[in-house]
């Protein structure tokens, strides 16, 4: 047992400096270091979201990462060894764009590596138009990405430490590092070997700015102005009118389509018509997707205007007349069957200019009826792009995801049901997404900064690649870069030569790598001992917006590779909304940096605000809540200082004899139980609320009531009971608060305890077990005290004014209870004469005479 000399209570406790102090101590003592000798059952593993470190953190990140840390700290105190890694998602388009804008450069894959290249000084105001940017080789560009993201990651890590995320910082991973690249390539090769990954040449959605294919999950609709153009097609006995928003695709028209039951067009089915301007003969076909009440009820099918065109083209086995190139301009040469002179007027133009020209041509020829009718309609965009997507036929890599296969789809829906979502209704989003998939997962991107596909293609004698038999490396050779490494059985001199080889030029989409975050963090195939101890993981924390991408794709990879779910729980955080109820990251609030909040309110206070919001619920950005958190932290310092200053030593249940003390511990037992159950259900707000409510009662009522007794004014045994109870209550409350307020609880803990509170045992009923006790007593005495205070308040006198007499009337049981704590009530209220009376109705009534 410690004595007074072991106490280190400061004269004037303060929050100032606590953060730097404890961050350093935790670092030095390895407080959050993961002990990998523990078994799977003893470990709690977390699939931390690898954050995109290109740009700056905002309060939404602080909010959701705090939620994860609450769980980590709770589980650690419960005795689980917590595997809580940190990762950076630094591969992919956001990093490329950051480098382009920061240095004013762009990647030109045709250039050779310049080992002496030095980038211009980074900063704002660099050229953003491609023609103004400095062209550099792919390798130089990747190096810049690598360097800049590493710098950004340092800044992020500082924020995370200041927020007190209890991650093990010894081995953060990066999705672009060699090991992540190797794991990503290995997982892909295994998908390929099992037939889960495949290559196909097919029409796919294409972003003409970034010049890459994009996946279904990355699409978003935006309302754009457009116009219906009513255009005449020709048949022997007169015109057939169609309406289109994309007249420039007329040369790409391969058929007209109407609903099979549409009486108006029955006679046309099986005949052909001639396209205006471009004079191609196209068939009129029937398909159930054609909608009779849309436009004129008959539509032109182009290759390709939209996804419905692709469906029609595929199901009706129509020919292809592609006219839009990868750069978003019309191809130089007309497709077969199209009038070359007419096409020459639009060849090479952008889609936009071509549309204007075709409209002008239609006006000249009189084949457009009336003026275009302006409308607003949804258009598909890449979520990071700013030009409408086109559909271009390209060779791409896919991973099966149930989009074209009900067996896989059902299996993946089933996997979703094995995961406990918090809150539970988030599973619906998963299921709807899986059930609504229309195609497999397109994972290839025609970009530079990403994981390259680890495949090469043999060239035949004429130099044509054989895409059907990709050459793959041995797993032991990974990672490979097929643009600089030669495939097995070849040497570099054969690159690009007939009879030689070429490397696959594409990189994987960032989700194809981040979908392996459990494998990367756990060291799959690099450290199988570790992997076996942490996988499948316990928790995937993430935002609701990426259920369809990150969550789903991780399930897909785990399902194929291991036949399991990747984790048993998914904790979904909500959004931060600004005062106008708009998503914070999209508004002015985004300029409030986390560091400035830490400086103004303290990290504990910011954590308190985050912890006040439940999983899955959007929360208002509310500095008021941070002020409350700050006040709570200060109160914890002061109350602890006072209790310890009374000569409180160490918890000792056997000394607790007084009825009021027993009542407090019975109440505290309830709090411990509530908080524990709540945390087990991933309901941190309830745990916090129960703890906080108790704490204020403890401060405002209990401490006031036992002050004199604790000073020793009613004998040693009574004093010992009060001091023991204060010690127990403090000891338990500090631990209950520790996940929420790690700095201040650690500070107070250090005043009188050994080791870190964050490695202390989570409190249990054994900490507060008293033989008998009436929790009700605490409330009764508190009410009585409150009535006495009210009388003083109404008389406008100080709370330390003496009271002549107080008469409390209540039922027999209540009176008996109150009498057992009468001395404490008398001293706290400064009551000279305290009397009790029995009242039949059971109402507590307090008559105060000043």
Footprint (CB under 7 A) of RNA, residues 405-424: none
- Please, which residue, 257 or 663, has the CB nearer to RNA? 257
**Of the candidates 308, 483, 568, 750, which one interacts with RNA according to CB under 7 A?**
308
CA distances from 811 to 4, 87, 704, 785 (A): 44, 62, 25, 17
Residues 208-237, interacting with RNA (CB under 7 A):
216, 219-221, 226, 228
**Of the candidates 599, 790, 805, 849, which one interacts with RNA according to CB under 7 A?**
790
67 near RNA, rule: CB under 7 A: no
- Please, which residue, 76 or 548, has the CB nearer to RNA? 548
Instruction: Report the nearest approach of RNA to the CB of residue 189 (Å).
Output: 30
Q: Running DSSP on this structure, what letter comes out for residue 239?
A: E
**Binding span for RNA by CB under 7 A among 73-81, 332-340, 372-380, 753-761:** 372-380
Run of H or E residues at 664: helix 659-680
The token pair that represents 154 in the structure block? 């340092």
Residues 593-612, interacting with RNA (CB under 7 A):
612
**Of the candidates 582, 681, 759, 847, which one interacts with RNA according to CB under 7 A?**
582
Instruction: Report the nearest approach of RNA to the CB of residue 79 (Å).
Output: 25
Which residues contact residue 455 at a Cβ distance below 8 angstroms, ignoring those fewer than 6 apart?
Answer: 192, 470, 471, 472, 482, 503, 504
793 near RNA, rule: CB under 7 A: yes
622 near RNA, rule: CB under 7 A: yes
Residues 523-552, interacting with RNA (CB under 7 A):
544-545, 548
**Of the candidates 345, 352, 432, 497, which one interacts with RNA according to CB under 7 A?**
432
**φ/ψ bin of 92: left (φ > 0), alpha (ψ from -120 to 50), beta (otherwise):** left
300 near RNA, rule: CB under 7 A: yes
796 near RNA, rule: CB under 7 A: yes
**Of the candidates 10, 645, 715, 755, which one interacts with RNA according to CB under 7 A?**
645
Run of H or E residues at 395: strand 390-399
**Of the candidates 112, 118, 288, 800, which one interacts with RNA according to CB under 7 A?**
800
Instruction: Report the nearest approach of RNA to the CB of residue 124 (Å).
Output: 29
Where does residue 8 rank: exposed (0-12), middle (13-18), buried (19+ CB within 10 A)? exposed
**Binding span for RNA by CB under 7 A among 67-75, 159-167, 301-309, 357-365:** 301-309
**Binding span for RNA by CB under 7 A among 196-204, 276-284, 407-415, 787-795:** 787-795
355 near RNA, rule: CB under 7 A: no
**Of the candidates 378, 463, 488, 532, which one interacts with RNA according to CB under 7 A?**
378
587 near RNA, rule: CB under 7 A: no
Nearest to 779 by CA among 829, 844, 839: 844
**Of the candidates 366, 624, 716, 771, which one interacts with RNA according to CB under 7 A?**
624
703 near RNA, rule: CB under 7 A: yes
The token pair that represents 673 in the structure block? 């139980």
9 near RNA, rule: CB under 7 A: no
Edge-to-edge strand ranges of the sheet holding 803-810: 831-838, 803-810, 845-849
- Please, which residue, 308 or 750, has the CB nearer to RNA? 308
- Please, which residue, 229 or 559, has the CB nearer to RNA? 229
379 near RNA, rule: CB under 7 A: yes
- Please, which residue, 178 or 631, has the CB nearer to RNA? 631
Residues 11-30, interacting with RNA (CB under 7 A):
14-15
- Cis bond upstream, residue 423 (ω within 30): yes
Instruction: Report the nearest approach of RNA to the CB of residue 813 (Å).
Output: 13
**Binding span for RNA by CB under 7 A among 140-148, 491-499, 521-529, 639-647:** 639-647
Assess contact for 462 and 468: CB atoms under 8 A: no
- Please, which residue, 305 or 651, has the CB nearer to RNA? 305
**Binding span for RNA by CB under 7 A among 154-162, 357-365, 555-563, 622-630:** 622-630
Nearest to 665 by CA among 773, 783, 824, 776: 773
Where does residue 95 rank: exposed (0-12), middle (13-18), buried (19+ CB within 10 A)? buried
Within 13 Å of residue 208, how many CA atoms lie on the same side as its CB? 17
Instruction: Report the nearest approach of RNA to the CB of residue 513 (Å).
Output: 21
Nearest to 67 by CA among 612, 632, 478, 838: 612
689 near RNA, rule: CB under 7 A: yes
CA angle (773 as vertex; 771, 776 as ends), nearest 5:
160
**Of the candidates 145, 512, 619, 748, which one interacts with RNA according to CB under 7 A?**
619
Assess contact for 429 and 544: CB atoms under 8 A: yes
CA distances from 32 to 26, 523, 704 (A): 7, 19, 37
**Of the candidates 97, 211, 235, 614, which one interacts with RNA according to CB under 7 A?**
614
266 near RNA, rule: CB under 7 A: no
Q: Running DSSP on this structure, what letter comes out for residue 15?
A: S
Question: How many residues are given for the chain?
Answer: 850
Q: Give the whole-angstrom CA distance, residue 487 versus residue 454.
A: 9
669 near RNA, rule: CB under 7 A: no
Assess contact for 265 and 297: CB atoms under 8 A: yes
Judged by CB under 7 A, how many residues of this single chain contact RNA? Answer: 86
Nearest to 35 by CA among 69, 78, 87, 81: 81
Looking at the chain, the number of H-run helices and the number of E-run strands are 25, 29
Dihedral in degrees, nearest 10, Cα atoms 558, 561, 563, 569:
-20
Residues 280-299, interacting with RNA (CB under 7 A):
289-291, 294-295, 297-299
631 near RNA, rule: CB under 7 A: yes
Run of H or E residues at 145: helix 138-162
- Please, which residue, 352 or 790, has the CB nearer to RNA? 790
Tell me the residue ranges of DSSP E strands in 138-280. 173-174, 197-207, 212-213, 219-235, 238-244, 253-258, 272-274
- Please, which residue, 23 or 699, has the CB nearer to RNA? 699
């Amino acid at each position: 047992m410690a004595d007074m000399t072991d106490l280190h209570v400061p004269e004037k406790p303060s929050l100032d400096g606590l953060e730097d102090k404890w961050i350093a101590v935790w670092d030095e003592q390895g407080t959050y270091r993961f002990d990998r000798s523990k078994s799977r059952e003893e470990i709690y593993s977390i699939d931390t979201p690898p954050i995109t470190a290109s740009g700056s953190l905002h309060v939404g990140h602080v909010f959701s990462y705090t939620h994860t840390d609450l769980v980590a700290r709770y589980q650690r105190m419960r005795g689980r060894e917590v595997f809580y890694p940190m990762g950076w998602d630094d591969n992919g388009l956001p990093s490329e764009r950051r480098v382009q804008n920061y240095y004013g450069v762009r990647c030109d894959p045709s250039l050779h590596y310049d080992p002496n290249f030095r980038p211009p000084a980074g900063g704002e105001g660099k050229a953003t138009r491609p023609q103004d940017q400095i062209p550099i080789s792919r390798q130089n560009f990747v190096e810049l990405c690598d360097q800049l993201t590493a710098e950004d990651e340092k800044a992020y890590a500082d924020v995370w430490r200041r927020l007190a995320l209890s991650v093990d910082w010894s081995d953060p991973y990066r999705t672009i590092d060699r090991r992540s690249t190797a794991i990503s390539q290995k997982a892909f090769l295994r998908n390929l070997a099992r037939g889960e990954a495949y290559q196909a040449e097919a029409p796919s959605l294409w972003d003409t700015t970034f010049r890459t294919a994009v996946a279904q999950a990355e699409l978003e609709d935006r309302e754009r102005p457009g116009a219906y153009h009513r255009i005449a097609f020709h048949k022997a006995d007169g015109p057939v009118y169609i309406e289109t928003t994309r007249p420039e695709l007329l040369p790409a028209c391969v058929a007209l389509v109407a609903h099979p039951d549409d009486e108006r067009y029955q006679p046309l089915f099986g005949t052909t018509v001639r396209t205006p301007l471009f004079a191609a003969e196209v068939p009129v076909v029937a398909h159930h997707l054609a909608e009779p009440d849309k436009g004129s009820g008959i539509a032109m099918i182009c290759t390709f205007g939209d996804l419905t065109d692709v469906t029609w083209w595929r199901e009706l086995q129509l020919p292809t007349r592609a006219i839009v190139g990868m750069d978003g301009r019309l191809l130089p040469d007309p497709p077969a069957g199209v009038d070359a002179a007419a096409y020459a007027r639009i060849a090479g133009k952008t889609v936009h200019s071509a549309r204007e020209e075709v409209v002008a041509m239609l006006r000249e020829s009189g084949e457009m009826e009336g003026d275009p009718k302006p409308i607003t309609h949804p258009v598909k965009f890449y979520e990071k792009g700013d030009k409408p997507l086109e559909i271009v036929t390209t060779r791409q890599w896919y991973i099966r995801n149930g989009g074209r296969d009900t067996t896989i789809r059902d299996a993946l829906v089933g996997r979703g049901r094995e995961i406990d979502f918090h809150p539970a209704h988030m599973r619906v989003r998963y299921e709807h997404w899986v059930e609504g998939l229309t195609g497999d997962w397109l994972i290839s991107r025609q970009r530079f900064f990403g994981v390259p596909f680890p495949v090469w293609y043999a060239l035949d004698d004429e130099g044509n690649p054989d895409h059907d038999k990709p050459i793959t490396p041995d797993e032991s050779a990974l990672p490979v870069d097929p643009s600089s490494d030669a495939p097995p059985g070849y040497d570099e001199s054969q690159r690009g030569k007939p009879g030689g080889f070429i490397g696959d030029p594409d990189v994987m989409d960032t989700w194809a790598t981040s979908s392996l975050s459990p494998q990367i963090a756990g060291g799959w195939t690099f450290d199988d001992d570790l992997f076996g101890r942490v996988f499948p993981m316990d928790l995937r924390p993430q935002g609701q917006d990426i259920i369809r991408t990150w969550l789903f794709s991780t399930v897909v990879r785990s399902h194929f590779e291991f036949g399991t779910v990747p984790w048993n729980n998914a904790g979904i955080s909500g959004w931060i909304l600004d005062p106008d109820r708009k998503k914070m990251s999209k508004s002015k609030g985004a300029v409030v940096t986390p560091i400035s909040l830490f400086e103004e309110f303290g990290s504990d206070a910011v954590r308190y605000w985050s912890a006040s919001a439940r999983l899955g619920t959007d929360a208002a950005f509310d500095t008021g809540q941070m002020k409350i958190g700050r006040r709570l932290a200060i109160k914890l310092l002061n109350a602890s200082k006072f209790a310890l200053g009374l000569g409180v030593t160490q918890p000792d249940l056997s000394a607790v004899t007084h009825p009021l003390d027993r009542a407090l511990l019975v109440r505290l037992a309830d709090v411990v139980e509530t908080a524990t159950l709540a945390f087990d259900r991933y309901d941190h707000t309830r745990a916090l609320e129960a703890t906080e409510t108790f704490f204020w009662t403890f401060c405002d009522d209990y401490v006031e009531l036992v002050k004199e007794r604790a000073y020793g004014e009613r004998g040693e045994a009574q004093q010992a009971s009060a001091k023991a109870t204060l010690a127990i209550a403090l000891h338990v409350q500090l631990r209950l608060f520790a996940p929420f307020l790690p700095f201040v609880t650690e500070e107070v803990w250090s005043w009188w305890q050994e080791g870190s509170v964050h490695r202390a045992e989570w409190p249990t009923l054994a900490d507060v077990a008293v033989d008998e006790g009436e929790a009700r007593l605490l409330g009764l005495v508190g009410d009585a005290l409150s009535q006495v205070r009210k009388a003083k308040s109404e008389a406008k006198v100080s709370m330390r004014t003496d009271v002549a007499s107080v008469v409390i009337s209540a039922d027999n049981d209540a009176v008996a209870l109150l009498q057992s704590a009468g001395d404490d009530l008398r001293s706290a209220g400064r009551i000279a004469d305290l009397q009790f009376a029995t009242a039949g109705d059971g109402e507590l009534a307090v008559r105060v005479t000043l």
